[in-house]
Amino acid sequence: MPSVAAALVAGSLAFVGATADDVAALGAQLALTEPGRRRRVRRAQAVGVTALAAVAVVLGETLRVVPLAWFSPLALFPLAFAVRAWSTRHREVVARRRGAVATALVTVSTGGDAVALWTPLVRGSDAARLVVVLAAFVAWELALLGVTGALARHERPRRWARVATARGRPALYVALAALVLVECHVL
């Protein structure tokens, strides 16, 4: 049971850390989208995240021949993201209206951080642990879509989400760097 709990925590941290910045951005985008099209845009976000998870799984499984410790330099990516998040924490996020296809493509094209974080997690997991990690991804993606739907309807929570993600991202990325090192059995 502890390994299931550990996999759930690792999957949750990896998913939330890689997608935390998407909450405010997608909420703002949905606010600009007419209500009848919001469901398609949220579905497209889910398709993009699913594609990123699939890439991480394929990479993680393909790279099983590579020693796990060799993945530890990937911890530099979330540290770099932490520095960037800290330096841009006061910068305003500009929302742009996009359709469903553009949303999926933007999600995939900006998802390099997710792939960099998720690949070592997949590589360090056996089949049972991978199922738990992917279940955490699904649960958090559903939560993200629910939260962004609420953000689209109300300005105050949207403003709070922008502030919270700007302040919390640097610490979250540092925690993710530590998670990568733990998953690679370096820490």
pLDDT in tens, 114-162: 888 888 888 888 889 999 999 999 999 999 888 888 777 777 766 776 6
Choose between 28 and 57: higher pLDDT: 57
Does residue 13 surpass a pLDDT of 80? yes
Residue with tokens 């359709």: 99
Choose between 4 and 71: higher pLDDT: 4
Task: Please tell me the distance from the alpha carbon of residue 138 to that of residue 130, in angstroms, as a whole number.
Answer: 12
Task: Please tell me the distance from the alpha carbon of residue 77 to that of residue 48, in angstroms, as a whole number.
Answer: 21
Q: Can you give the residue ranges of every domain in the chain?
A: 2-183
End-to-end CA distance of the chain: 22
Count CB atoms within 10 A of the CB of residue 115. 22
Count CB atoms within 10 A of the CB of residue 152. 21
Does residue 163 surpass a pLDDT of 80? no
Choose between 48 and 156: higher pLDDT: 48
